[in-house]
Homo-oligomer: A and B are copies of this chain.
């Protein structure tokens, strides 16, 4: 089996490691516009060698793990190039636009829209982890449009990586992701920006960060390339939830200003119920 990974970053590199573990005989090619990523990926044995889009004519599987806007631009060319036995899956954080981009393609049934809910704030091939996907959900969209035997192979492979599968409509996926994930990133990026602007003494950021800042701002270390692409692609859902967030912050500000500590306390107590919901994750 020949596998091509397009985009050897954290996610692409982790798929390379997990696929090599499952298919030790497979030859893994890497395609990346950043030559130093390819070098690192070869040195760390994530891939066997670098390759180009032309080489897709002889592959069996393709992992598409580049920023979402680039995936949407490239997916039809990839489908054009692959042989009829091959399967391509993407890993993008939005799913509507890529599903629209392939909808009329004659090889639509060789594509699977996927989104592994896994990652860290680190990027690049050196951040890849063999067990990144273990215990994590893999969201599949429009799975019925993928050729049954290719879908079966993918489901088995993802499950062997330790993932559990969920099936969603692409538009629903993008809305839920805006609410639960994308807003968290904006909240964190703007928190980091505000503190950098207002707190001039870096030593204080050092010393006081353990009091909550460090975990809340973790996502502000994320890749601007990846996240700008997501924000662009999911603009309307994000605007909706961002406005709701700003309205809640303004309301909190007004309660604080008017010293209405009873309502402030009630809001916090109500939000505490997240403990129960999030503990549910742990037991999965």
Interface SS of chain A: helix
Count the copies: 2
B180, A93: Cβ atoms under 8 Å? no
Known A137-B210, A183-B194, A256-B242: A199·B221 in contact at CB below 8 Å: no
The listed residue (B189, B210, B265, B271) touching A271 by CB distance below 8 A is B189
Instruction: Find chain B residues with CB under 8 A from A179 CB.
Output: 194-195, 198-199, 204
Instruction: Find chain B residues with CB under 8 A from A268 CB.
Output: 189, 220, 222, 224, 227-228
Known A242-B252, A281-B210: A180·B197 in contact at CB below 8 Å: no
Instruction: Find chain B residues with CB under 8 A from A64 CB.
Output: none
| A219 (CB) vs chain B CBs: closest residue | B212
Instruction: Find chain B residues with CB under 8 A from A208 CB.
Output: 117, 137, 176-177, 180-181
Known A187-B191, A220-B271, A271-B196: A211·B177 in contact at CB below 8 Å: yes
A267, B193: Cβ atoms under 8 Å? yes
B190, A224: Cβ atoms under 8 Å? no
Q: How large is the interface on A (under 10, 10 to 19, 20 to 34, 35 or more residues)?
A: 35 or more
Binding site for B on A (CB under 8 A): 93, 117-119, 136-137, 139, 166, 176-177, 179-181, 183-199, 201-202, 204-222, 224-225, 227-228, 231-232, 235, 238-239, 241-246, 248-250, 252-253, 256-257, 259, 261, 264-265, 267-275, 277-278, 280-281, 284
